[in-house]
């Protein structure tokens, strides 16, 4: 049992479940037929059920592989393009979300309240409101000024980045909290500067804590990107819906196919997350390369792959490549600007109210504490 590789076992499991389910259903149908119509067929008529399924499967396969839409795009390209768009959005949004999440995590660990409060307000707000409503709010606002900066693409990227920056902030904060304070002091004693300490001492330890939840979040983002279909982005769900609308008699078969494609990508990713977690937790784990550089390359590579996924969907010309690049840059700038706006405007309000309350409290509590502030000064003199 344990020698069979995991994916094969899963396929076997699915196949056996289908067979068992089919047998039960056909048995039930046969019994029903006998009870109602005095049918003469046998109770166990697997052929009838499988025949029905096989007929539709045949039609579906022929639709996907032989037919084209009015522009001449074959329907199997719909799935490829949809998958490419989904990957494009995930791979561009995730690195950006990680970078902004790191900024937010460092901000929320700051000793100064003026830096900490806005970041906390941002994170709590975005973690406690639905992604879909955030997306609709951003998109309907963007619709007021349609341009290179404000369109469905940048709205989609901005939503994913804004929402996931909050979650990545929490992951990274957990990683930072797991650090031993003494190591930073030891590194400072050894004469390392703050950037050096971060790169060589702090960072590798953060990675081992943060990487598994980040891969999990990538899986979540992969699934959550399906909501982009609501704002007219032609990713996998939208393409599936499109096919289901075109072929109404095959609609649920296409929905099942789309779900199977999502499953086919997210299951290996989940396995990868589990493997990475096990590897990082094992005592013998020794990174053979500079982790900081490696992760920068990986994150940059993800953005490039995402951008390429966007480019290959259209006939390649310098104009199309340039337009895709401009879109990517616009989305990046916009996401950064929106995060900054969200952190500093409502966060600033929260801070103002909080500091006012604090000032009132302190002014009320001053007479009692006034006498105690003396000794500290006296000792230092």
Residue 255 touches another protein, criterion: CB under 8 A? yes
* Residue 30 and residue 24 in contact, taking contact as beta carbons nearer than 8 Å: no
Residue 134 touches another protein, criterion: CB under 8 A? yes
Residue 60 touches another protein, criterion: CB under 8 A? no
Residue 231 touches another protein, criterion: CB under 8 A? no
Shortest Å distance, C-beta 137 to another protein: 4
Residue 226 touches another protein, criterion: CB under 8 A? yes
Residue whose token pair is 């032989």 = 66
CA atoms within 13 A on the CB side of 137: 12
CB atoms within 10 A of CB 126: 20
Residue number with CB closer to another protein (178 or 316): 178
Residue 252 touches another protein, criterion: CB under 8 A? yes
CA distance 327 to 321: 10
Could you give the string, one character per residue 21-40, with x where binding to another protein holds by CB under 8 A and - elsewhere?
----x---x-----------
Task: Please give the angle made by the CA atoms of 312, 313 and 319, to the nearest 5 degrees.
Answer: 70
Residue number with CB closer to another protein (196 or 226): 226
- CA gyration radius, the chain: 28
Residue 117 touches another protein, criterion: CB under 8 A? no
Shortest Å distance, C-beta 33 to another protein: 12
Number of amino acids touching another protein (CB under 8 A): 43
Query: Hey, what are 109's tokens?
Result: 């660990």
Shortest Å distance, C-beta 243 to another protein: 12
CA distance 156 to 24: 44
- As to burial, measured by CB atoms within 10 angstroms (0-12 exposed, 13-18 middle, 19+ buried), residue 193 is exposed
Exactly one of 4, 137, 329, 356 binds another protein (CB under 8 A); that residue is 137
Q: Tally helices (H) and strands (E) across the chain.
A: 14, 0
CB atoms within 10 A of CB 138: 20
Binding part of the chain for another protein, among 176-184, 196-204, 219-227, 272-280 by CB under 8 A, reads 219-227
292 to 321, contacts with another protein by CB under 8 A? none
Element (H, E) at 358: helix 318-369
Exactly one of 45, 77, 136, 148 binds another protein (CB under 8 A); that residue is 136
| SS3 of residue 315 by DSSP | coil
**What residues make contact with another protein under the rule CB under 8 A?**
10, 13-14, 17, 25, 29, 124-125, 127-134, 136-137, 140-141, 144, 223-227, 229-230, 237, 240-241, 244, 251-252, 255-256, 258-259, 262-263, 266-267, 270
């Amino acid at each position: 049992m344990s020698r069979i590789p995991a994916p094969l076992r899963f396929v076997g499991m699915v196949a056996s479940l289908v067979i068992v389910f089919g047998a039960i259903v056909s048995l039930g149908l046969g019994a029903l037929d006998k009870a109602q119509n005095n049918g003469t067929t046998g109770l166990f008529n697997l052929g009838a059920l499988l025949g029905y399924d096989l007929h539709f499967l045949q039609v579906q396969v022929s639709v996907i592989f032989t037919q084209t839409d009015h522009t001449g795009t074959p329907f199997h390209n719909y799935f490829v393009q949809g998958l490419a768009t989904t990957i494009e959005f995930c791979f561009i949004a995730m690195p950006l979300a990680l970078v902004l999440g790191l900024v937010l995590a460092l901000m929320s660990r700051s000793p100064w309240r003026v830096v900490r409060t806005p970041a906390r307000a941002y994170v709590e707000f975005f973690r406690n409101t639905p992604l879909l409503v955030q997306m609709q709010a951003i998109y309907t606002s963007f619709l007021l000024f349609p341009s290179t900066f404000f369109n469905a693409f940048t709205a989609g990227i901005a939503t994913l980045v804004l929402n996931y920056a909050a979650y990545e902030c929490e992951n990274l904060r957990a990683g930072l909290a797991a650090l031993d304070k003494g190591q930073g002091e030891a590194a400072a004693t050894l004469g390392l500067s703050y950037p050096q300490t971060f790169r060589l001492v702090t960072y590798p330890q953060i990675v081992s804590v943060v990487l598994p939840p980040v891969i999990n979040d990538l899986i979540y983002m992969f699934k959550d990107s399906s909501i982009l279909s609501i704002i007219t982005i032609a990713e996998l769900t939208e393409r599936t819906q499109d096919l289901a609308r075109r072929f109404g008699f095959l609609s649920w078969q296409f929905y099942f196919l789309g779900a199977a494609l999502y499953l086919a990508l997210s299951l290996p990713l989940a396995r990868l997350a589990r493997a990475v977690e096990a590897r990082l937790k094992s005592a013998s784990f020794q990174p053979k390369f500079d982790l900081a550089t490696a992760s920068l390359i990986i994150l940059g590579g993800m953005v490039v792959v995402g951008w390429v996924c966007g480019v290959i969907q259209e006939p390649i010309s310098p104009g199309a490549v340039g337009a895709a690049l401009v879109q990517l840059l616009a989305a990046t700038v916009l996401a950064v600007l929106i995060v900054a706006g969200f952190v500093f405007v409502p966060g600033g309000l929260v801070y103002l109210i909080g500091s006012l309350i604090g000032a009132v409290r302190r002014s009320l509590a001053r007479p009692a504490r006034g006498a105690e502030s003396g000794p500290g000064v006296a000792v230092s003199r």
